[in-house]
Structure 1
Amino acid sequence: MRPLRPPAPSPATVAVTGVEFGWGSAGKLSAVLGALRRPGDRAPLRFVGLGSALGRPLLAAHDVDAWYDLPAGDGLRPAVEELTRTHRPRAALVVLDGRVATALEAAGVPTVFVDSLPFLWTEGDRAGLPLDATAYCAQRCPELPPECGDVLASARSLRWVEAIVGAVPGARADRPGARPWRRALVSLGGLRAPGLADWTAYPRAVVPAALRALAAHGVREARLAGNLPAGLLARLTADVPPALRVTAGPLPHAAFLAELARCDVLVTSPGLTTLLEAGTLRVPAVCLPPQNVSQILNARFHTRAVGADVRAGWPADVLREDEALALRAKGEEHALELVYGAVAGAARSGGTVSGALEAALGAALRRAGGVTDWGALAAAVGTGGAAQVAGVVREIVRRGPRPCPPASASPGT
């Protein structure tokens, strides 16, 4: 008689969430979730999603049991406590949302916090960072200013990880700079950032100029990726030269990576995840003007790594980047206020700024033709971060559940 097999273990629950700011957090969640899904795994996991409304469309291919919206303000902690009692997560994976990470830890859930922007923080940001998280995974960066290092040194369990990028098709050799580029991917990321009064300002300011510059450079097909409604899209493409065929729409993460692998050149708002994914595939990547503070630094990292100025920045009378960076000392939100105001002004100005951006992007595309190593930024920071973070999550799951703290007392008790 054959011995009976032991019953398969019940899946351990992991809560996952990403900050409601752009799509970088969703890309990183997707990469780590992919690394946590191992065929034939003897320790299966189930996932419950919290918040992340902006990024959920990008995560559609992942098997998340349920998504729960989270309230803002004082209602966050009670909501997290209730979800913890219902689902009893063994661990949590949080990308860049310090408030949710803190609430999960307070509810007794060991939390892996992923910080992909460690080079951005100053003393003004300390209060919003979950420095007491069970594991604080900071993504390696080309340089770390001293003021950022002082903040991160306070993390209870700091772990440096390589760049967190999704599983992409096999990397290819760099293409010769003289080769004509005919197929472009234009990426705007997720546009509905919190605190941004008019999220349409950035695409209105940059997309028409970008498409005209690509057409002038000989590109014949452009895929515009971003959460743009059809009505706005029609306005943005109204004056596209007939020789350029434009298709548009948001892409789930795997579909975005596939489109990236097929294109000849990427023109992108300088989100770090997108630049690193392009570098992993050695796709030529040219930066649109920054739409937030971290993108100023991301574009500079990318430019220094590839050895050419492949940025199309804002005209100086729209935004002086160093002024925005100086405001970081008071906290990121102060610098964001300046950048958002500049972007709104650029959208209102119409033709003058648009013409300047078209010329700047054309020049950046020409300089990009001479780059010989598009993988330099990804090579500098490594690309194994998704597996490394997944390993930390599994390590915490194996430890077993932590006793749940009592529910928060209601006001007045």
Structure 2
Amino acid sequence: MRAKAETRTVAVAGVEFGWGSSGKLSAVLSALRGTGGDRLRFIGLASGLGRSVLAEQPVERWFDLPDTRSEAELRRIVQAQRVEAALVVLDGGLAKALRACGVPVVFVDSLPFLWTDGDRPDLPLDAEVYCAQRCVELPRQGARVLADVHQLRWVDAVIADGGVSRSTAPTRYPRRALLNLGGLRAPRLADWAGYPRLVLPPALEALTASGITEVHIAGNLPAWLAAQLVDSCAHPATTTVGALPHEDFLRRLAECDVLLTSPGLTTLLEAGQLGTPTLCLPPQNLSQIFNGRFHSRAVGTDVRLRWPAEVFDEDEVLALRTHGVGKALDLIYGGIARAADLGRHRTATAVRQGLVEKLKRLADGFGAGASAPGNSDPGSSVPGSSVPDWTAMTRSVGTAGAAQVADALRRLMV
């Protein structure tokens, strides 16, 4: 019989994409710490991009993995560290490799609405526990894929409250903004700097023109590039830049009057939990198209900015996803790269004008049905609603997901 005081090792990992998976890991580790997690030892695998987000979590040691994801190297780590279970967010390949090494896996899928039959080979459908995060809408293709999951468990939004809340209601005329760019270093993206070059300067100019006096730029944007882009344009008098540990990000999110963000799902759900007014910057990947649409539909008016048609057409992107996410991403990344190389001025002008209009509507209370030309989102506005419900999307999926995933991991290790 196992001694109660014996420490047991859990490997944790998030997909090398943006910071959403690391935010989810942070939320689950916090939930574990509050309920007996002191008898668990955590090691991290890969997840190099998100380690700063997890700086305040008790991950004892990180192990880099080769791009080839060598089974021999992974098996060596598993055996040397006596790994008894793994918590993996979105990295289906790593989850499958861990199971091949004999490690039971709790897999967290925060994007179940995204999958089609073409994505089946990349998903660990036979994981010991497959936690799918509830979503606003589950297309037929996604439902068909999830029907083949062996041990499916639906969970609420996997987010942490960080112990913060809004002390005051957002002001009608925003003065403090948080500008967040996440998901910049996707594995398939050849030049990740194209997106911030197209979006950051016009966003800062729109904030300045709208009377914002203070902005912090967060996300996985290198300091040198951020400084270069800030210096290239008009920006609010107090403009600061820097990646934030998760709890610091949540505090900033609670204090700002408006959030401008690339529409990553975790950030939108965290903002919704706090009731922070949120505008979606143009999408930089496939899931962000869905996230922006879900968010606009839930809050009751169009709060997302779309790319001009010459960058890419969203309906064409969505049609391509039937062949797997990769085909759709090729069109998105190619369009952004071309715009950054050849049409930066025209695209930046459209982004700036669209954001100025969105910020004006925010100050005016977002009158129902008013949309910026070229940025309408059919079905996103609710007739008769004049004030967006910033909490709507988060409330619709619940907020107990971190505790539910933590419970699944504890049960797996009994």
TM > 0.5 = yes
Question: Which residue of the partner structure matches residue 404 of structure 1?
Answer: none
Aligned with 1:208 (options 201, 212, 215): 201
Q: Shift of residue 42 of structure 1?
A: 8.0
Question: Which residue of the partner structure matches residue 373 of structure 2?
Answer: none
CA RMSD across the alignment: 1.8
Larger of the two Rg values belongs to structure: 1
Question: Which residue of the partner structure matches residue 375 of structure 1?
Answer: 391
Question: Among the aligned pairs, what percent are the same residue?
Answer: 55
Q: Is 1:392 aligned with 2:408?
A: yes
Q: Is 1:30 aligned with 2:30?
A: no
Q: Shift of residue 108 of structure 1?
A: 1.2
Give the gaps of 5 or more residues in structure 1.
Answer: 1-5, 399-413
Aligned with 1:274 (options 267, 286, 298): 267
Q: Residue by residue, what CA displacement relative to the aligned partner does 1:231-258 show, whole Å, maximum 9, x if unpaired?
A: 3123211244365321001111111111
Question: Which residue of the partner structure matches residue 406 of structure 1?
Answer: none
Q: Is 1:58 aligned with 2:53?
A: yes
Q: Is 1:308 aligned with 2:304?
A: no
Q: Shift of residue 7 of structure 1?
A: 7.6
Q: Shift of residue 72 of structure 1?
A: 2.2
Q: What SS does structure 2 have at the residue aligned with 1:28?
A: helix
Q: Residue by residue, what CA displacement relative to the aligned partner does 1:139-191 show, whole Å, maximum 9, x if unpaired?
A: 00010001110001100000000001112345448836x71100000000141
Q: Residue by residue, what CA displacement relative to the aligned partner does 1:243-286 show, whole Å, maximum 9, x if unpaired?
A: 53210011111111111111111000000000000000000010
Moved more, 7-16 or 111-120: 7-16
Q: Is 1:256 aligned with 2:249?
A: yes
Aligned with 1:335 (options 328, 337, 341): 328
| Cα separation, 1, equivalents of 2:210 and 2:167 | 23
Structure 2 CA distance for partners of 1:242 and 1:227, relative to 1, 3 Å: closer
Give the gaps of 5 or more residues in structure 2.
Answer: 367-386
Q: Given residue 188 of structure 1, which amino acid in structure 2 is its aligned partner?
A: L
What count of residue pairs does the alignment treat as equivalent?
Answer: 390
Structure 2 CA distance for partners of 1:242 and 1:103, relative to 1, 3 Å: closer
Structure 2 CA distance for partners of 1:243 and 1:328, relative to 1, 3 Å: closer
Question: Which residue of the partner structure matches residue 81 of structure 1?
Answer: 75
| Cα separation, 1, equivalents of 2:5 and 2:249 | 35
Question: Which residue of the partner structure matches residue 89 of structure 2?
Answer: 95
Aligned with 2:111 (options 117, 122, 141): 117
TM-score (norm 1): 0.91
Q: Given residue 85 of structure 2, which amino acid in structure 1 is its aligned partner?
A: A
Q: Is 1:350 aligned with 2:338?
A: no
Q: Residue by residue, what CA displacement relative to the aligned partner does 1:273-302 show, whole Å, maximum 9, x if unpaired?
A: 000000000000100000000000000000
- State whether residues 269 and 287 of structure 1, in contact with CA within 8 Å, keep that contact through their aligned partners in structure 2: yes
Structure 2 CA distance for partners of 1:270 and 1:154, relative to 1, 3 Å: same
Q: Shift of residue 34 of structure 1?
A: 0.7
Q: What SS does structure 1 have at the residue aligned with 2:108?
A: strand
Question: Which residue of the partner structure matches residue 411 of structure 1?
Answer: none
- State whether residues 14 and 22 of structure 2, in contact with CA within 8 Å, keep that contact through their aligned partners in structure 1: yes
Q: Shift of residue 95 of structure 1?
A: 0.2
TM-score (norm 2): 0.91
Aligned with 1:181 (options 165, 174, 177): 174
Q: Given residue 392 of structure 1, which amino acid in structure 2 is its aligned partner?
A: A
Q: Shift of residue 367 of structure 1?
A: 3.1
Q: Residue by residue, what CA displacement relative to the aligned partner does 1:344-379 show, whole Å, maximum 9, x if unpaired?
A: 122222211111100111122233333341000000
Structure 2 CA distance for partners of 1:42 and 1:18, relative to 1, 3 Å: closer
- State whether residues 9 and 43 of structure 1, in contact with CA within 8 Å, keep that contact through their aligned partners in structure 2: no
Structure 2 CA distance for partners of 1:21 and 1:243, relative to 1, 3 Å: closer
| Cα separation, 1, equivalents of 2:183 and 2:237 | 24
Question: Which residue of the partner structure matches residue 402 of structure 1?
Answer: none
Aligned with 1:156 (options 136, 146, 150): 150
| Cα separation, 1, equivalents of 2:16 and 2:213 | 34
- State whether residues 207 and 235 of structure 2, in contact with CA within 8 Å, keep that contact through their aligned partners in structure 1: no
Q: Is 1:140 aligned with 2:156?
A: no
Q: Residue by residue, what CA displacement relative to the aligned partner does 1:46-104 show, whole Å, maximum 9, x if unpaired?
A: 1010010111111111111110011222x432222111111222211000001110011
